[in-house]
Structure 1
């Protein structure tokens, strides 16, 4: 194995905390992120409908660029990287907020690791036997993974971005084919009726 590639525990390269528990409002200055705001692979998927007003207590929970949100409860433990362009936001208590040391690990690389089938299976095994599967903070801190040099992490992230673009294009192509096929079928049916 390459000497620059090592296996690390999550707690060695990041700080972990729980998301913030509170009752959100319909309007406010800070987005209150919940699991429903993300798709199965952790991408943002819908308009926000829960907000908070800033106060001294919740300001401590504002997300920073590169923070990772990992769903800690339920049957899918997707991860997503927070970007400042999203606007001020606080993660709800369903999430772990992971603040990686970006001098050692790229947040996007770590998110790729979290969203792999192998890691998802591992997380599900941790929560097995509970009515609502959940990961304990100590178990997440002890999670080990391969940490290559930053240059290799960047290549892996680049490949994943290309894969995501390809998947989006495939979805668009499939939707267009479905529209075209439906139009042809409708035309044939209408011609047959005449």
Structure 2
């Protein structure tokens, strides 16, 4: 089944000027720097805007929407979590609003991030210096749809894998910090002799 048959696809909002952060702003903006392959959307980093009016409600994202970086070499997909409130994304993202009766959003993100699909994207991306994936290329993607139960199981295993990688990295960072502190103490002790 083609992706366009199970999801509405559009681009993010095209800001005409630099985003001016207002900590009290009611609208959050997702940019490329707000994404982490293992942690997902870094909610605490999101810029906020006041009095934002995109002139169309289609730019506002909802829980379960899937966003995908469309420019560059890392074409990663992420699911919008619950509880974000008013949120939009910049036009460096493609936005998919999946038919959740046919496809589980987390499964769609996993499928888009899979090695085979990423290979397809690299072949379809246009652009010389910075590859750019078009809506048309994304619409033409063939998506395999297992049962909703199997989609959920695949998504859950992927979530656990990402969590494990994240925790391993945190442990590695803590070990590195501890060893650095011990070495610095040893060095300071030797230096004071």
TM tier relative to shorter chain? 0.7 to 0.9
- Aligned counterpart, 1:12: 5
- Aligned counterpart, 1:69: 67
Which consecutive unaligned segments of at least 5 residues does structure 2 have?
A: none
1:139 aligns with 2:134: no
What SS class does the counterpart of residue 180 from structure 1 fall into? helix
What SS class does the counterpart of residue 55 from structure 2 fall into? helix
1:38 aligns with 2:31: no
Of 54-63 and 176-185, the range deviating more from structure 2: 54-63
Of 96-105 and 174-183, the range deviating more from structure 2: 174-183
What SS class does the counterpart of residue 96 from structure 1 fall into? strand
What SS class does the counterpart of residue 8 from structure 2 fall into? strand
What SS class does the counterpart of residue 13 from structure 2 fall into? coil
- Aligned counterpart, 2:155: 157
Quote the offset at 1:10 in angstroms.
0.6
Quote the offset at 1:156 in angstroms.
0.9
Root-mean-square deviation (CA, aligned residues, Å) is 2.0
- Check whether the contact 1:37–1:47 (CA below 8 A) recurs between aligned residues: yes
Of residues 8, 14, 18, the one that matches 1:21 is: 14
C-alpha spacing 1:36/1:58, structure 2 compared with 1 (3 Å): farther
In the alignment, the residues of structure 2 paired with residue 124 and residue 169 of structure 1 have an alpha-carbon distance, to the nearest angstrom, of: 30
Could you list the per-position Cα deviations for residues 30-88 of structure 1 after superposition, in whole angstroms to 9, with x for gaps in the alignment? 11222111124571235122525243714332112211111111221111111231221
- Aligned counterpart, 2:85: 87
In the alignment, the residues of structure 1 paired with residue 130 and residue 120 of structure 2 have an alpha-carbon distance, to the nearest angstrom, of: 16
Count of matched residue positions in the alignment of Structure 1 and Structure 2: 187
TM-score, normalised with respect to structure 1: 0.86
In the alignment, the residues of structure 1 paired with residue 6 and residue 58 of structure 2 have an alpha-carbon distance, to the nearest angstrom, of: 21
C-alpha spacing 1:138/1:64, structure 2 compared with 1 (3 Å): same
Could you list the per-position Cα deviations for residues 115-162 of structure 1 after superposition, in whole angstroms to 9, with x for gaps in the alignment? 223322321222255232111211100111321101011111111121
- Check whether the contact 1:9–1:142 (CA below 8 A) recurs between aligned residues: yes
C-alpha spacing 1:111/1:169, structure 2 compared with 1 (3 Å): same
Which consecutive unaligned segments of at least 5 residues does structure 1 have?
A: 1-7
Of 125-134 and 30-39, the range deviating more from structure 2: 125-134
C-alpha spacing 1:69/1:42, structure 2 compared with 1 (3 Å): farther
- Aligned counterpart, 1:4: none
